[in-house]
């Protein structure tokens, strides 16, 4: 019989490897993980995972592993359940869906072009050092309007968000309690971080323009504290999730032969008379959407999520009691040879119409920013490929990601140069 804490070390130091060790084709639907005295199971079957994620909250809900995050993001949509969660999610979803169809494409594309115009002047850059701030600027622009974020506020916000993310990671993975002194230090650091973020958010709200996501949030009539928590959640989710995946997208643009050329052709096909991407033509841009989905399959930003059994029931042939935790790993599902051919390779001939594809979760509690995240990655691929060339300066293949709250990319060193310059060199050659 295994010790009840025998998987703790592996979970703390390399959860990706722990999850993958249980992804063989003959693995049972539920695999018990020894992470403490309370029962925890890893869900390895995609169909079962889908049913769990779509289950009624009275049977299976978010549970204590998610509730640990309340110390950082408070009573926000991520930690709430029930009618209040549905109310907030509905308002945010409606605004994002309307923006994706109408307003967001020129706004996001403009920010990407502005970012690229600065990068071509640099001799080299790290992918994530560039994509994380870009993702933050995009979500801030959608929340508060263009020009709301000053350089000083961006720097303060990035540092405060980093502290908050470290605390979220520690909260999720911690099994044993901290010492009293260490707890005091961490509470003080987190308090300072939240105070900085709160001050920046207040300044951004004062500068906000009309027709932004902030207006939609204000229609909820939340308390000042709840409003800050909801905005903080959107900043955290929009910053590192898309920022992480975007770093890998740049890597594949630089390393997959012919991909950038094909994307440039697709970009030209969806351009309007103004020379910018036409939102009405974007649904025809199948290649860039496949690139975005394949990047998210290989490197899902949220590589695991949890649910908790609320009422005794049988799942996967096992009788589970109330309080049992269920871990679903998109990393494990999306790299499982049971569901994917050549699962560790970047391929664009795949079908993603499968419950094993879940980079944002599934069901009524899936990430509300699914459409926005895909749109950002798609536009990044189209805009950069149409105007620039990426050159890889670091090793290929790239190193492995670092699992924290999200999957942090390794150092990926790149160079960006204008496409017209590349074409001129090719003609001379």
Residues that constitute the known binding site for heme: 367
DSSP H or E run through 229: helix 224-236
CB contact burial 153-192 (16+ within 10 A = b; e otherwise): beebbeebbebbbbbbbbbbbeeeeeeeeeeeebeeebee
Question: Could you tell me which of 280, 283, 305, 226 has the C-alpha nearest to residue 49?
Answer: 305
User: Phi-psi region for residue 342, left (φ > 0), alpha (ψ -120 to 50) or beta?
Assistant: left
Q: Which two tokens stand for residue 37?
A: 């005295």
Residues 6+ apart with CB under 8 A from 182: none
Give the Cβ contact number of residue 68 at 10 Å. Answer: 17
Other CB atoms within 10 A of residue 2 CB: 9
For Cα atoms 153, 157, 160, give the angle at the middle one, nearest 5 degrees: 140
- Residue 382, CA distances (Å) to 7, 143, 370, 425 in order: 43, 24, 19, 22
| DSSP conformation letters of 362-417 | -GGGS-TTHHHHHHHHHHHHHHHHHHEEEEE-S-SS--PPEESSSEE----EEEEE
Number of Cβ within a 10 Å radius of residue 287: 19
Where do the H-state alpha helices sit in 277-348? Answer: 286-298, 330-334
Of the candidates 225, 173, 126, the residue with the CA atom closest to the CA atom of residue 10: 173
Tell me the two tokens of residue 45: 């079957």
Annotated binding site: 367
């Amino acid at each position: 019989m295994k010790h009840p804490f025998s998987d703790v070390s592996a979970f703390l130091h390399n959860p990706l490897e722990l999850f993958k060790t249980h992804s063989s084709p003959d693995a049972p639907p539920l695999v018990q993980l020894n992470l403490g005295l309370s029962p925890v199971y890893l869900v390895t079957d995609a169909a079962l995972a889908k049913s769990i994620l779509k289950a009624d909250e009275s049977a299976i809900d978010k549970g204590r592993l998610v509730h640990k995050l309340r110390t950082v993001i408070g009573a926000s949509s991520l930690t709430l359940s029930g009618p209040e969660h549905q109310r907030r999610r509905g308002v945010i979803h409606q605004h994002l869906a309307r923006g994706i169809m109408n307003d967001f494409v020129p706004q996001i594309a403009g920010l990407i072009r502005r970012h690229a115009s600065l990068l071509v002047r640099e001799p080299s850059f790290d992918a994530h050092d560039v994509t994380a701030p870009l993702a933050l600027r995009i979500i801030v622009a959608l929340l508060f309007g263009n020009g709301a974020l000053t350089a000083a506020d961006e720097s303060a916000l990035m540092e405060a968000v980093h502290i908050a993310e470290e605390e979220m990671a520690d909260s999720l993975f911690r099994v044993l309690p901290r010492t009293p002194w260490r707890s005091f230090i961490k509470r003080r650091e987190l308090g300072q971080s939240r105070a900085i973020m709160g001050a920046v958010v207040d300044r951004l709200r004062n500068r906000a323009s009309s027709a932004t996501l902030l207006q939609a949030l204000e229609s909820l009539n939340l308390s000042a504290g709840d409003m800050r928590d909801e905005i903080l959640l959107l900043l955290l989710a929009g910053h590192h999730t898309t920022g992480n995946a975007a770093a890998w997208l740049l890597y594949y643009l630089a390393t997959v032969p012919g991909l950038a050329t094909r994307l440039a052709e697709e970009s030209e096909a969806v351009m309007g008379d103004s020379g910018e991407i036409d939102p009405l033509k974007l649904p025809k841009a199948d290649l860039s959407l496949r690139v975005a989905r394949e990047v998210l399959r290989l490197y899902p930003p949220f590589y695991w999520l949890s649910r908790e059994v609320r009422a005794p029931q049988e799942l996967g042939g096992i009788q589970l009691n109330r309080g049992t935790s269920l871990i679903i790993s998109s990393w494990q599902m999306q790299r499982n040879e049971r569901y994917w051919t050549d699962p560790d390779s970047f391929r664009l001939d795949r079908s993603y119409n499968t419950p094993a594809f879940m980079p944002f979760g599934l069901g009524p509690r899936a990430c509300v920013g699914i459409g926005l995240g895909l749109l950002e990655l798609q536009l990044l691929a189209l805009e950069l490929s149409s105007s620039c060339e990426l050159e890889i300066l670091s090793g290929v293949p790239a190193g492995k990601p670092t699992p924290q709250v999200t999957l942090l990319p390794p150092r990926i060193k790149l160079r960006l140069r204008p496409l017209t310059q590349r074409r001129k060199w090719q003609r001379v050659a």
